[in-house]
Amino acid sequence: MPGEVVKRARYKTSVKDSGVAGVLKMTEDKFVFMPNDPTSSARLDVEFRFIKGHKFSKGGSNKPALLNLTQDSEKGGGYIFEFENHPDREVCREFVGKALAKFSEASKAGSEQSAVKLFDEQLSTIEMERRIKLLREDSELQKLHKQFVLSGVLTEAEFWATRKKLLDGNTSRTSKQRVGFKSAMISDLKPLTDGRTNRVTFNLTPEIIHQIFAEKPAVHQAFLNFVPNKMTEKDFWNKYCRAEYLHCTRNTVAAAAEAAEDEELAVFLKHDDILASEARRKIRRVDPTLDMEADQGDDYMHLPDHGIFRDGSKEIIDPQYEQYRRTLSQDLNRHAAVVLEGRPIDVELEDTRTVAEALAKSKRVEAANEKSDGSVTQERLERISRMTEIEDLQAPRDLPFAALCIKDPRDYFDSQQANALKTLGDTLAGSKQIKCSLSTQEAYGSLRGFISEIKSVGLSDPIVKPDIALKVLNGLTQNISSTKFHLGKNPQESVLDRLPIITKEELLHHWTSIQELLRHFWSSYPITTTYLYAKASRLKDAMSQIYPKLQEIKESVQSDFRHQVSLLVQPMLQALDAAFAHYDADQQKRSARSGERPNGFV
Establish if 549 lies at the interface with other proteins (CB under 8 A): no
Given 3-state DSSP classes, what are the helix, strand and coil percentages for the chain, each rounded to the nearest 5?
60, 10, 35
Backbone angles phi, psi at 31, to 5 degrees: -130, 150
Indicate whether 377 belongs to the interface with other proteins (CB under 8 A).
Answer: no
Instruction: Choose one: 100-108, 216-224, 367-375, 432-440; the region binding other proteins (CB under 8 A).
Output: 432-440
Residue closer to other proteins, measured from CB, 61 or 174: 174
- The SS3 call for residue 465 is coil
Q: Does 230 bind other proteins (CB under 8 A)?
A: no
d(CA 211, CA 154): 53
Residue type, 204: L
Least distance (Å) between residue 37 CB and other proteins: 43
Question: What is the footprint of other proteins within residues 37-96 (CB under 8 A)?
Answer: none
> Contact between 496 and other proteins (CB under 8 A)?
yes
Residues in the chain: 602
Stretch that binds other proteins, among 203-211, 260-268, 327-335, 564-572 (CB under 8 A): 564-572
Nearer of residues 109 and 420 to other proteins, judged by Cβ: 420
Alpha carbon distance 336, 295 (integer Å): 17
With contact defined as beta carbons under 8 Å apart, do 260 and 234 qualify? no
Round to whole Å and give the CA distance between 241 and 98.
69
Size of the site for other proteins (CB under 8 A): 64
Q: Does 584 bind other proteins (CB under 8 A)?
A: no
142 contributes a contact to other proteins by CB under 8 A = no
126 lines the binding site for other proteins (CB under 8 A): no
Of 576, 516, 520, 578, the residue nearest 548 (C-alpha):
576
Compute the distance between CA of residue 316 and CA of residue 134 in angstroms, rounded to an integer: 71
Q: Which residues contact 89 (CB under 8 A, 6 or more apart)?
A: 56, 65, 66, 67, 83
Q: Does 36 bind other proteins (CB under 8 A)?
A: no
Among 38, 312, 409, 458, binds other proteins (CB under 8 A): 409
Shortest Cβ distance from residue 484 to other proteins (Å)? Answer: 5
501 lies in the binding site for other proteins (CB under 8 A): no
- Each residue 454-483 as x (binds other proteins by CB under 8 A) or -, in order, gives ----------------------x--xxxxx
Residue 205 interacting with other proteins (CB under 8 A): no
Q: How far is the CB of 583 from other proteins (least distance, A)?
A: 12
Identify residues 157-176 at the interface with other proteins (CB under 8 A).
Answer: 173-174
Instruction: Please identify which residue in 434, 457, 468, 501 interacts with other proteins, judged by CB under 8 A.
Output: 434
The answer for residues whose C-beta is within 8 angstroms of residue 208's C-beta and 6 or more apart is 186, 187, 189
528 near other proteins (CB under 8 A): no
Nearer Cβ to other proteins, position 229 or 492? 492
Residue from 58, 422, 455, 489 binding other proteins (CB under 8 A): 422
Under a CB-based contact definition with an 8 Å cutoff, are residues 43 and 11 in contact?
no
Candidates 27-35, 37-45, 283-291, 434-442 — which segment interacts with other proteins by CB under 8 A? Answer: 434-442
Residue of 43, 55, 108, 182 interacting with other proteins (CB under 8 A): 182
Instruction: Say whether residue 429 binds other proteins (CB under 8 A).
Output: no
* Residues in 283-342 that interact with other proteins by CB under 8 A: 339, 342
Q: Which residue, among 341, 349, 348, 410, has the nearest Cα to 180 in the 3D structure?
A: 341
- Burial of 582: CB neighbours in 10 Å, binned 0-12, 13-18, 19+: middle
Q: Which CB atom, from 62 or from 174, has the smaller least distance to other proteins?
A: 174
Cβ-based nearer residue to other proteins, 61 or 437: 437
Residue at 296: amino acid letter = Q
**Residue of 303, 365, 508, 585 interacting with other proteins (CB under 8 A):** 508
Helix, coil or strand: residue 79: strand
Three-point CA angle 355, 360, 363, nearest 5°: 125
Alpha-carbon distance 516 to 162, whole Å?
9
Which residue among 252, 352, 503, 564 contacts other proteins (CB under 8 A)? 564
Residue 405 binding other proteins, by CB under 8 A: yes
Count of C-beta atoms within a 10 Å radius of residue 100:
17
Residue 414 interacts with other proteins (CB under 8 A): yes or no: yes
- Phi, psi dihedral angles at 20 (to 5 degrees): -110, 130
Say how many C-beta atoms besides its own lie within 10 A of residue 7's C-beta.
19
Pick 296 or 439: Cβ nearer other proteins: 439
* Residue 267 neighbours by CB distance under 10 Å: 21
Q: Which is nearer to other proteins, 174 or 456 (CB)?
A: 174
Q: What residues form DSSP beta bridges with 53?
A: 70
Q: Which is nearer to other proteins, 266 or 339 (CB)?
A: 339
> What Å distances lie between residue 89 and 24, 44, 48, 102, 140, CA to CA?
11, 18, 17, 20, 36
Does residue 180 bind other proteins (CB under 8 A)? yes
- Positions that interact with other proteins (CB under 8 A): 173-174, 177-183, 339, 342-343, 346, 383, 387, 402, 404-409, 412, 414, 417-418, 421-422, 425, 434, 436-437, 476, 479-484, 487, 494-496, 507-508, 511-512, 515, 518-519, 522-523, 564, 567-568, 570-572, 574-575, 577-579, 582
